């Protein structure tokens, strides 16, 4: 009778367990800057919701088109419509309204205006008025002055084939956000000069669609949380240029992270690289 090789089986199981522990706990795989087209379907839905929220806040249609193109949808409008229907079915009316407003803007960038021909009363004809055989006819000019025909002004009808929903304001964010964390990061695996921003509410839940304003001497830009849902709904990032001081603040009010200059870092091999910052904003 053939003996079962217990030693080899135990060695195989021990190696398998150590390999899983190393790959899951010690050195897990980190996904950095993955393309939106590679996202899972539910993450793509979150990405579209963040784009619609950004459009509701800025009205920048060209930027919304560019961000939608990154998803690689064959028909972005159809994908947005389908998501709006799913949101309505689940009771997410605010997000559905924002997506519907974006679809309407994509389909009808401007209202269709059709002039209507002016209408007027029939031409007035003055008739002489007589009070008897010897009475003189009333002056035609007098009749014209006292009986001016009413002319209706030109009317313009705005044709809107799709009813535009009223823009729903972004939810009230409550108290201003506080800067609860600021640290410099020296990680050669991250892009040079990367500013990572994390926005949390008072319950420590990540908040998507929050506008972040970053300024520097002679320039400014804005970006939004939630555009990289694989890294978190409240996550956003920005690439700094070396030797330039930046100031970061949330658009709806927060503490200010000032004088952010990309730090000079050195790897364990002695190679120099540019580090970044990690900022955390939270409602008190």
Give 175 or 185, the one with higher predicted confidence. 185
Count of domains forming the chain: 1
CATH number, domain at 260? Answer: 2.60.40.10
How many angstroms separate the Cα of 118 from the Cα of each of 98, 121, 198?
A: 38, 10, 59
CA atoms within 13 A on the CB side of 228: 14
Q: Minimal CA–CA distance to 234: which of 195, 206, 197, 194?
A: 206
229 assigned to some structural domain: yes
- Tell me, yes or no, if the pTM score tops 0.75: no
How many angstroms separate the Cα of 235 from the Cα of each of 31, 148, 208, 210, 225?
A: 14, 69, 8, 10, 5
82 assigned to some structural domain: no
Per-residue model confidence as pLDDT tens digits over 11-21:
888 888 888 88
Per-residue model confidence as pLDDT tens digits over 121-158:
444 444 454 444 444 444 444 554 455 445 444 444 44
Residue 177's domain comprises 172-284
Return mean pLDDT, the chain. 78
- Quick one: pLDDT at residue 23? 82
71 assigned to some structural domain: no
pLDDT at residue 238 is higher than 70: yes
**What is the distance, to the nearest Å, from the Cα of residue 92 to the centroid of all Cα atoms in its chain?**
16
Per-residue model confidence as pLDDT tens digits over 69-78:
988 888 888 8
Per-residue model confidence as pLDDT tens digits over 6-60:
888 888 888 888 888 888 888 776 666 667 888 888 888 999 999 999 998 888 8
- Quick one: pLDDT at residue 166? 52
């Amino acid at each position: 009778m053939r003996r079962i090789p217990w030693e080899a089986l135990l060695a195989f199981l021990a190696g398998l367990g150590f390999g899983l522990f190393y790959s899951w706990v010690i050195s897990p795989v980190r996904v950095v800057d993955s393309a939106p087209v590679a996202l899972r379907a539910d993450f793509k839905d979150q990405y579209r919701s963040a784009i619609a929220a950004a459009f509701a806040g800025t009205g920048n249609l060209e930027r919304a088109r560019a961000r939608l193109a990154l998803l690689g949808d064959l028909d972005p409008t159809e994908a947005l419509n389908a998501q709006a229907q799913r949101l309505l079915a689940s009771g997410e009316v605010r997000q559905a309204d924002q997506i519907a407003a974006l679809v309407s803007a994509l389909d009808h960038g401007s209202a269709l205006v059709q002039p209507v021909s002016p209408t007027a009363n029939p031409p007035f004809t003055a008739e002489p008025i007589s009070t008897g055989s010897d009475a003189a006819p009333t002056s035609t000019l007098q009749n014209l002055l006292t009986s001016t025909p009413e002319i209706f002004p030109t009317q313009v009808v705005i044709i809107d084939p799709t009813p535009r929903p009223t823009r729903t304001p972004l939810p009230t964010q409550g108290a201003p956000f506080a800067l609860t964390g600021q640290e410099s990061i020296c990680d050669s695996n991250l892009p040079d000069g990367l500013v990572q921003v994390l926005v949390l509410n008072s319950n420590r839940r990540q908040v998507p669609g929050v506008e972040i304003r970053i300024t520097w001497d002679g320039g400014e830009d804005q970006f939004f949380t939630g555009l990289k849902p694989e890294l978190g709904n409240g996550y956003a990032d920005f690439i700094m240029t070396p030797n330039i001081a930046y100031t970061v603040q949330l658009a709806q009010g927060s503490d200010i992270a000032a004088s952010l200059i990309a730090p000079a870092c050195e790897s364990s091999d002695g190679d120099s690289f540019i580090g970044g910052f990690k900022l955390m904003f939270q409602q008190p």
